[in-house]
Amino acid sequence: MEIAQIVGLALVTTILLLILRQEKPVMAVVLSIVFSIIVFTLMMGKMGSIINVMKELTRRAEINYFFLATILKILGVAYLGEFAATICQDAGEEAVAKKVEFASKIIIAVLALPIIIAILESLLELMPR
């Protein structure tokens, strides 16, 4: 059961972080980053499975793959932005974390533009003139 392993690793990491923050704060930040990378790596396979299922559903429904690809990019930016911001917060760099969150939101808005335009164009076609 993967969640039990992650929770166990998180508890051990937390205890080590509590000890390290007192003695060696830089090492505590490094440990936090290593833990984050381990969890991220463990979840990559799960994310790959989700992407494969979504691709198959898109193919079956005969939906333009462009829309799925854009949504997946948006999800990727959201997850990576949050991941990076959390690491920055763990390191005590709240200001940097806020900038990462801001940049992620702007990138998501830019990525969403083609979908928004397609929806508006479809609505305009449905409206009587």
24 Rama class: left (phi>0) / alpha (psi -120 to 50) / beta: beta
54 domain residue, yes or no: no
Same domain for 40 and 68:
no
Tell whether 53 is covered by a domain. no
DSSP annotation of 1? -
Please check whether residues 86 and 127 belong to one and the same domain. yes
Q: Are residues 3 and 41 in the same domain?
A: yes
Q: Does residue 59 form part of some domain?
A: no
- 6-21 residue pLDDT tens: 999 999 999 999 999 9
Tens digit of pLDDT for each residue in 112-125?
999 999 899 989 98
Do 88 and 127 fall into the same domain? yes
Q: What is the pTM of this model?
A: 0.78
Residues 32, 87, single domain; the answer is: no
Write down the pLDDT at residue 63.
Answer: 83
> What is the number of domains present in the chain?
2
40 lies in the same domain as 86: no
Q: For residue 121, what are the domain limits?
A: 64-129
Residues 37 and 81 in one domain: no
